[in-house]
Structure 1
Amino acid sequence: MASPAPPIADPQALETLPCLTDELLEEIFLRLPTAADIARASASCTSFCRIITDRSFLRWFRAIHPPPLLGFAAYEGFHPAQPPHPSATLASAFADAADFSYSFVPTGRWLTPWHPRDVRQGRVLLECTPECQPALEYFDAVFLRDLELAVCDPISRRYRLLPRIPKQLRAQHKSLVDYGLFFAPTGEDEETTFRVVCMACNKTNLVAFEYTSITGQWNILACLSWRCPLGIGTPYNRYSSSCVDYEKGCFYWVVPWRNNFLVLDGLSMKLSIVNNNLAKYDLCESGMPLIVRGGDGTAEVFFPADCFGDGPTDLFRFTKQTDGGSSDEWKFENMVSLPSQYNYFTLGAADGFLFLRGILQDQHSGYSSEDSLDNSAHLSLESPDVEYFSFDLKTSELKKVCVMKRYFHTLYPFYGYPPPLAEPTI
């Protein structure tokens, strides 16, 4: 005798079951510990991939799982994290999928390669400048009229060519040269919008120009009168260190004179130079100061100590002591100890991390001062390995990111996700 037919399920329950299944899968995926696990899950079947690549899930996932450090964008390409760094597998996949030669960005009028000036939210801010600049009193400076800029997404290979800063804006201040370029928070949806700040200066003025992707136009954000002591110091432009205090909307970076910081108040749109009262300390000149936002929300500055000496290289740590007025001061907090077998050079700071270049002390004789000054110089195979580190300010953990035979003064940490977790940002 034939078995009775199974009861017919409630049609309404059948209609809602796939939705419930997706919700349960989302909960499971969100509990996976790393982005690499999510990427592997998305490759296992089409239904998993559909759920994971959905825009709403990706936003949820990114809110819970900060993007991992995948490597560094440098003057001539991308250098992925290498084993045993926890992001090595993801970084390798990312490097294979992305184009850090920027070949998809149209050649500028100067017919010179595009080079990075900043990285944020998966976007790279690029510059193109003429090869031969007129003799300037500024080191490595570029006249604003000659500066060409673009913003690109190396994964999606999308880009936007930024218009040149209009002549009528530049003409308000004569002979302006590039002082610094960086992405700034938009205050809106940073997945689809971006904002670029271009600092420029001459002997008497420092001017902040702003471009937003919403309007597609430049405007003058702020202006500050100053007297740049040419011959005493030169702008740190691309060799500078900056910090963004997102909560209070302030930007900090180093000015040519090491006992001063430049502050751009993003709320009042005012520029100011403040004395950091650090001149009394015997601070090392090798490596730039690193300015970051501390755990309690105040700005902190780190100076290298005993660079290229016989002893261990540590970092002086200063915190900003403020009473809400103009008498803000920087107070020595402590020394940050680093493994003593290396000599270090400070490179940059972002997202609670310091980035350092290290070389074993017994190999330091292979260091060349010319190599340290030329970002594009290749070293011979006989040169010692140069190791690049991240230092977590919360945990004091020093991690080796990658090893190269190149000395860089500036590297841009790239935080992000590989495909299929990465969405176009432009």
Structure 2
Amino acid sequence: MPPPSPPPPAALVEELIEEILLRFPPDEPASLFRASLVCRPWCRLISGPRFRRRYHKFHRTPPVLGFLCGRFTSDGVHIARFVATSSCSPLADRRCRLFDARHGRVLLLRSGEPGRENILLVWDPITDEQREIPFPKLTRPACTWKAAVVCAAAAGGACDHLDCHRGAFLVVLVIAYSPETFIWTYSSDAGSWSDPIFTQHHDDCVDLFYPSALVGNALYFEFWSMKRVLKYDLEFHEMSVIGLPSSFGQRVGVFRTTDDGCLGFATVHKSKLSMWSRKHGPEADAVWTRDRVVDLETLLSSNAIRTDPRLVGFVDRIAVILLRADNALFTVDLKTSKVKKVCEGAGSITTVVPYMSFYTPALGAASTGERPSAGGSSA
């Protein structure tokens, strides 16, 4: 008589499965997508809002899924191209001008054709949803202008920005005339622009290409001259101009957030990366100090430094610098000193902004019994 068959293995309890899935790396979203295809219970678990909330809180910092690169085509058209640095699905180019990306949203400009007005677009690359925002009515041509997008709760600091990309947002528009700079704020809740505020800027213009920085509840914008920075307080709707140290000279730099939450700045001169910070205190008493100098010659190949590296961006929360050298785009991790090449052909790139977001299989698939789509839920 044959021996009795062994009992079937005990099914993993759902709590244990969830604990395992929570530890899947967020910078490889394809791994969660494949897990959701294993069976309907796993799909239901991964696609549910409870798992999404726990996954975001477990990992805390959204991963960099890629970089959006603004460039001109040979025929002078603005293109926003997504360069993936993860297993995120490739995205088609957008025939728009790139301005900003923050809190799971991307801010673009669709230039108006003859007889049509410019339109700002707030776009979610993961769901491909977008919202059109008409430009405020301007009474005269601008010298330069710049725009940024933030979660609406950034004004009061009441959001951890882990899952707010579907919520309300603000668009801050900075327009420089001579000799004044104006700021308008668009609220998605109100569906309208605020009345503008303005300040004197001494015949300086906001920089078109370098991204703004969000530090605390304030946005910072560079001026062309590299002598001043424009600060806009989101909570009190006030703007001011801050001086930069004369030691910066005319060097190109980017703003950043320091580890202790202060405004920071990075410059490159003769392959030396200098990191500066502005310590908290009254505006008149706050001082800039140089915290660190990194020799890029020890990190980049000899080919990459045949021309002086040029800073083009900074990734907040993970301390990564973006720089262009030898027609290629690189990331430099300031904590580990690791360098990665993002893409070639960077000579035509005018603007680079990181896209940071959690990316999980689309909601609703589990409830219908269908397989989840490749489109996801971002944060």
Between 65-74 and 204-213, report the one with greater CA deviation. 65-74
Alignment of 1:3-22 (within 5 A): 21-22=13-14
Partner in structure 2 of residue 184 of structure 1 = 150
Q: Using a 3 Å threshold, how does the CA distance of structure 1 residues 396 and 147 change in structure 2: closer, same or farther?
A: same
Asked if 1:217 corresponds to 2:212, the answer is no
The one-letter code sitting in structure 1 at the alignment partner of 2:189 is I
Asked if 1:116 corresponds to 2:98, the answer is yes
- Matches of 1:195 and 1:325, distance apart in 2: 25
- Matches of 2:244 and 2:293, distance apart in 1: 18
- Matches of 2:353 and 2:203, distance apart in 1: 28
Asked if 1:295 corresponds to 2:259, the answer is yes
Contact 2:152 2:168 in 1 (8 A): yes
With the length of structure 1 as denominator, give the TM-score of the two structures. 0.69
Between 42-51 and 317-326, report the one with greater CA deviation. 317-326
Deviation at 1:349, TM superposition (A): 1.4
- Matches of 2:119 and 2:313, distance apart in 1: 24
Partner in structure 1 of residue 311 of structure 2 = 346
Alignment of 1:270-289 (within 5 A): 270-277=238-245, 279-281=246-248, 284=251, 288-289=252-253
C-alpha deviations, 1:398-422, integer Å up to 9, x for none?
A: 2222333643131121223456266
C-alpha deviations, 1:311-369, integer Å up to 9, x for none?
A: xx12122111343342222122231222252232111113232111122xxxxxxxxxx
Asked if 1:54 corresponds to 2:60, the answer is no
Partner in structure 1 of residue 371 of structure 2 = none
Partner in structure 2 of residue 200 of structure 1 = 175
Contact 2:225 2:250 in 1 (8 A): no
List alignment gaps of at least 5 residues for structure 1. Answer: 1-17, 82-86, 102-112, 134-144, 307-312, 360-385
Partner in structure 1 of residue 341 of structure 2 = 400
Deviation at 1:217, TM superposition (A): 0.9
The one-letter code sitting in structure 2 at the alignment partner of 1:257 is S
Deviation at 1:210, TM superposition (A): 0.9
C-alpha deviations, 1:231-279, integer Å up to 9, x for none?
A: xxx5312x13421113xx12222112212121112232211112122x2
Q: Using a 3 Å threshold, how does the CA distance of structure 1 residues 319 and 303 change in structure 2: closer, same or farther?
A: same
Contact 1:99 1:154 in 2 (8 A): no
The one-letter code sitting in structure 1 at the alignment partner of 2:36 is S
- Matches of 2:20 and 2:242, distance apart in 1: 50
Contact 2:100 2:212 in 1 (8 A): no
Contact 2:211 2:353 in 1 (8 A): no
List alignment gaps of at least 5 residues for structure 2. Answer: 1-10, 71-78, 154-158, 363-374
Q: Using a 3 Å threshold, how does the CA distance of structure 1 residues 281 and 114 change in structure 2: closer, same or farther?
A: closer
Contact 2:321 2:334 in 1 (8 A): yes
Q: Secondary structure at the match of 2:32?
A: helix
Q: Give the number of aligned pairs.
A: 329
Partner in structure 2 of residue 74 of structure 1 = 69
The one of the two structures with greater contact order (alpha-carbon pairs below 8 A, sep at least 6) is: 2
Alignment of 1:21-420 (within 5 A): 21-36=13-28, 37-65=31-59, 66-75=61-70, 76-81=79-84, 87-88=85-86, 90-91=87-88, 94-95=89-90, 98-101=91-94, 113-130=95-112, 146-165=117-136, 167=137, 170-171=138-139, 174-187=140-153, 189-220=164-195, 222-228=197-203, 234-237=205-208, 239-246=209-216, 249-277=217-245, 279-281=246-248, 284=251, 288-306=252-270, 313-338=271-296, 339-340=299-300, 341=302, 342-343=304-305, 344-351=309-316, 352-359=319-326, 386-404=327-345, 406-418=347-359, 420=361
The one-letter code sitting in structure 2 at the alignment partner of 1:204 is P
Contact 1:163 1:217 in 2 (8 A): no
Contact 1:122 1:425 in 2 (8 A): yes
Q: Using a 3 Å threshold, how does the CA distance of structure 1 residues 148 and 202 change in structure 2: closer, same or farther?
A: same
Deviation at 1:123, TM superposition (A): 2.3
Q: Secondary structure at the match of 2:67?
A: strand
Contact 2:104 2:165 in 1 (8 A): no
C-alpha deviations, 1:201-235, integer Å up to 9, x for none?
A: 21132111111211111113632133315xxxx53
Contact 1:346 1:356 in 2 (8 A): yes
Which protein shows a greater Rg?
Answer: 1
Q: State percent identity of aligned pairs.
A: 23
Deviation at 1:24, TM superposition (A): 3.0
Deviation at 1:178, TM superposition (A): 4.5
The one-letter code sitting in structure 1 at the alignment partner of 2:41 is S
- Matches of 1:405 and 1:264, distance apart in 2: 31
Contact 1:283 1:305 in 2 (8 A): no
With the length of structure 2 as denominator, give the TM-score of the two structures. 0.77
Q: Which has the higher strand share?
A: 2
RMSD: 2.9
